[in-house]
């Protein structure tokens, strides 16, 4: 990626980049959005989703993706601690042409920790230009 719809292959794996769970960001997020949560428990689920959203948005900014039409099947497996390196990846699961100029791409998104363990995953549907 980036690739127009016709060049995207089922099974293709794309890196969404990597980021570290910053201790200051974790403390600020918990204080603002997770009452009752303590930072020693790691990043709360909502912060993990926000981290994935940022990785996805940064990666997709150069793609011919014109719209995200769905985010489903969200799974949280663990809450990474401050300092943990997280990597995002997207695997193309399917695609369906829609007219002459666009198509729907179905993809599985995973956030993995330093050891390669699953932290978060979701299924997306997006419109890509042909």
- Long-range pairs for 60-64 at CB < 8 Å and ≥24 separation? 62/2, 63/1, 63/2, 63/3, 63/128, 64/2, 64/3, 64/4, 64/5, 64/128, 64/129
Query: Number of structural domains, the chain?
Result: 1
Total-model pTM:
0.93
Q: Which CATH number covers residue 117?
A: 3.10.129.10
Range of the domain at 12: 5-129
Structure confidence at residue 4 (pLDDT): 87
pLDDT tens per residue, range 81-121:
999 999 999 999 999 999 889 999 999 999 999 999 999 99
Whether 1 has a pLDDT exceeding 80, the answer reads no
- What is the tens place of the pLDDT at every residue in 29-88? 999 999 999 999 999 999 999 999 999 999 999 899 999 999 999 999 999 999 999 999
* pLDDT band at 14; cut points 50, 70, 90: very high
Left (φ > 0), alpha (ψ -120 to 50) or beta: where does 24 sit?
alpha
């Amino acid at each position: 990626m980036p690739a127009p719809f016709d060049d995207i292959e089922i099974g293709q794996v794309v890196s969404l980049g990597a980021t570290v769970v910053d201790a200051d960001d974790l403390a600020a997020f918990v204080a603002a959005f997770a009452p009752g949560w303590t930072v020693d428990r790691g990043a709360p689920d909502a912060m993990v989703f926000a981290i994935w959203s940022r990785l996805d948005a940064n990666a997709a900014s150069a793609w011919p993706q014109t719209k995200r039409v769905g985010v489903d099947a969200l799974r949280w497996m663990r809450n990474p601690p401050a300092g943990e390196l997280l990597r995002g990846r997207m695997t193309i699961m399917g695609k369906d042409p829609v007219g002459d100029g666009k198509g729907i791409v179905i993809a599985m998104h995973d956030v993995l920790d330093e050891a390669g363990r699953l932290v978060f995953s979701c299924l997306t549907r997006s419109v890509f230009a042909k």
